[in-house]
Amino acid sequence: MAETGTTTGDVLPKGFRSAEFGWPELERIPHPPHRIPLLGDILGASRRTPLQDSLRYAGQLGPIFRRKAFGREFVFVGGAALAADMADETRFAKHVGLGIANLRPVVGDALFTAYNHEPNWQLAHDVLAPGFSREAMAAYHPMMLDVAERLTGHWDRELAAGRAVDVPGDMTKLTLETIARTGFGHDFGSFERARPHPFVTAMVGTLTYAQRLNTAPSPALLRRATRRNEADIAYLDRTVDDLVRARRDRGGRGGADGGAGDLLDRMLDTAHPETGERLSAQNVRRQVITFLVAGHETTSGALSFALHYLSLNPQIAARARAEVDQVWGDTAVPAYEQVAKLRHVRRVLDEALRLWPTAPAFAREARADTVLGGEHPMRRGGWALVLTAMLHRDPEVWGPDAERFDPDRFDAAAVRARAPHTYKPWGTGARACIGRQFALHEATLVLGLLLRRYELRPDPAYRLRVTERLTLMPEGLRMHLERRTPTQVPTQGVPTQVPMPSGAPVGQEAAGPSSELRCPVHRAGD
């Protein structure tokens, strides 16, 4: 790979800028007490849970604060007013730094890690966004159902054996198989394996390594981990190259018959509608890894947190289940259009992502010298991390009971009554999540299927513990299941063929500089 900046002993990612640079009045921003010379604010901080430590500090320090670790200073924003100001796309943009920049040796200028000015961002965005339109999603639906049936098959066997199910483990299998199948026509066989597929191990390895780079005191301590990381990256690359070769050898399209093909087909065959440009082979490799990673970890966490809260709140589960029964009725297998109709189930997901936004922060930088919130001067290029989990608990927005799980916060009237830019699990602006509708369709479908089939029984001894490896996950979450009685549950059968809606794009926001191209992903006001 061309970039090896983080493997040569240079721990700071390229383009890294400590907050001293971008914040002329940094000293006015509060920091935790008991600063230690050189080391900074490490008292009471754990290297494994940087986000949850920051959440704790936020409670003491207010809507904006800074932390210093090993000579580097970071600014964190979690108050609703300041976060909304940073969502102003005319003055701020995505900042690629820190954890994201650490991933550049793996995925370079693919969608998630591209710098705003890199031409491959717009190219890949325009080529791939139609892969998330309504039509594309409707074509993925039968494949999503197929993978979900593997999950219920596995859960039925666990249930029959009297075992508790491993929720995050199984959700990760489900979401990985889903993005691999729908995006790339690939089967990792996750449900047929006792251990995670080596691709998953390598992926988790690179994510963990990237997080460690943020807090590592010295590169020397990382030497062995760095070698390991290079082997992981080589394995990821090899796997993807095999996948691409297999597709080229077959010369065929993946995905649904006669459709536009799957994401891989788009990456390999589609020219930009205006410039005629195509993704390079190197870029395709980086995009495939990006989508396999970005397309499953966060959705897996979202499903896991949702199941955790459903198991603890039987009335909420009962209401969502009643909705599934009512909307899906006796249909053996839900059709594409029947998924978005599950409003309560969707609210459960929204609320789970409020409390635990599984991509827990995003970084924003000033496009030009500006004053954040009318109070904090910033220089061009100055940046801060928006702590989504903190924003989502701001009592000014969410009330004094912000810690309570309550899906009714997302009924239509409540959403309308809230100020814009107060709920940001998908990030913001042009660089917001491209896979949002994909994740929501998949997760709503799966929650619906699980609620229809099982009662969830929490392990009374379980206390929520959240692990952080760039994304959040409820660690060690297990629960027992009970099958609902057969009269309650419609039997499973073959997927009903549903005519594709001849769809207008979902969103109406223009994609980037071109006013001709409509982005089917991003909606105005997001």
Q: CA separation (Å) from 413 to 344, 398, 416, 418?
A: 14, 14, 5, 9
- Looking at the Cβ atoms of 98 and 222, the one nearer to ligand MNH is 98
Q: Which stretch binds ligand MNH (CB under 6 A): 3-11, 210-218, 415-423, 427-435?
A: 427-435
Binding positions for ligand MNH, 124-143, rule CB under 6 A: 125
Beta bridge mates, 383: 365
From 384, 434, 456, 519, residue interacting with ligand MNH (rule: CB under 6 A): 434
Residue 109 or 232: the one with the smaller Cβ distance to ligand MNH is: 109
Q: Minimum Å distance from CB 142 to ligand MNH?
A: 17
The Cα-based distances of 71 to 23, 41, 56, 301 in angstroms read 16, 10, 21, 32
* Contact assessment for residue 21 and residue 381, using Cβ atoms and an 8 Å cutoff: yes
3-state secondary structure of 521: coil
- Rounded to a whole number of angstroms, the distance between the first and last alpha carbons of the chain is 35
Q: Fill in the per-residue mask, 362 to 391: x = in contact with ligand MNH (CB under 6 A), - = not in contact.
A: x-----------------------------
User: Shortest distance, CB of residue 112 to ligand MNH, whole angstroms?
Assistant: 4
CB of 259 to ligand MNH, least distance (A): 17
User: Contacts with ligand MNH in 290-319 (CB under 6 A)?
Assistant: 290-291, 294-295, 298-299, 302
What are φ and ψ of residue 492, in 5° steps? -85, 150
Cα three-residue angle 484-490-496, rounded to 5 degrees: 145
**Contact 98/363 with Cβ under 8 angstroms?**
yes
* Whole-number Å distance between alpha carbons of 454 and 374: 52
Which is nearer to ligand MNH, 427 or 448 (by Cβ)? 427
Task: Point out the residue whose Cβ comes nearest to ligand MNH.
Answer: 435
| Residue ranges in 453-512 that form contacts with ligand MNH under rule CB under 6 A | none
Give 133-188 as a DSSP string: SHHHHHHHHHHHHHHHHHHHHHHHHHHHTTPPEEHHHHHHHHHHHHHHHHHH----
Q: How far is the CB of 356 from ligand MNH (least distance, A)?
A: 10
Which residue stretch of 204-212, 224-232, 408-416, 430-438 sits at the interface with ligand MNH (rule: CB under 6 A)?
430-438
Nearer to ligand MNH, 467 or 492 (CB): 467
Integer CA distances (angstroms), 506 to 258, 267, 317, 518, in order: 22, 21, 29, 10
Q: Does 352 bind ligand MNH (CB under 6 A)?
A: no
Task: Tell me: does residue 94 bind ligand MNH (CB under 6 A).
Answer: yes
Rg over alpha carbons for the chain, rounded to the nearest Å, is 23
How many angstroms separate the CA atoms of 50 and 353, rounded?
A: 19
| Signed CA dihedral, 343, 347, 350, 353: sign only | negative
Is 13 a binding residue for ligand MNH by CB under 6 A? The answer is: no
Considering only residues 431, 441, 452, 453, which one is a binding residue for ligand MNH as defined by CB under 6 A? 431
Enumerate residues 100-119 that contact ligand MNH by CB under 6 A. 100, 111-112
> Given the complex with ligand MNH, which of 159 and 210 has the nearer CB atom?
210
Per-residue DSSP letter, 282: H
Instruction: Kindly tell me which residue out of 93, 174, 207, 433 binds ligand MNH, with binding defined by CB under 6 A.
Output: 433
Over the window 169 to 208, marking each residue x when it contacts ligand MNH by CB under 6 A and - when it does not, the resulting string is: ----------x-----------------------------
User: What is the longest distance spanned by two Cα atoms in the chain?
Assistant: 68
Instruction: Please state the closest distance from residue 194 (CB atom) to ligand MNH, in A.
Output: 26
Applying CB under 6 A, what is the total number of residues that bind ligand MNH?
Answer: 26
| Beta bridge pairs of residue 300 | none
* Options 136, 439, 445, 466; binder of ligand MNH; rule CB under 6 A: 439
Contact call for residues 383 and 412 (beta carbons, < 8 A)? no
Question: Which range binds ligand MNH by CB under 6 A, 17-25, 145-153, 335-343, 433-441?
Answer: 433-441
Q: Which of 78, 425, 448, 507 binds ligand MNH (CB under 6 A)?
A: 425
Chosen residue from 74, 305, 410, 438 binding ligand MNH by CB under 6 A: 438
Q: Is the dihedral of CA 204, 206, 209, 210 positive or negative?
A: negative
Which x/- pattern, by CB under 6 A, does the window 395-424 give for ligand MNH? ------------------------------
Q: Are 457 and 480 in contact (CB under 8 A)?
A: yes
CB of 133 to ligand MNH, least distance (A): 13
User: Could you give the CA distance from residue 366 to residue 85 in angstroms, rounded to a whole number?
Assistant: 11
Give me the least distance between CB of 308 and ligand MNH, in Å please. Answer: 15
**Closest among 128, 110, 132 to 270, alpha carbons compared:** 128
Q: Is residue 358 a contact residue for ligand MNH (CB under 6 A)?
A: yes
Give residues in contact with ligand MNH (CB under 6 A): 94, 100, 111-112, 125, 179, 290-291, 294-295, 298-299, 302, 358-359, 362, 425-427, 431-435, 438-439
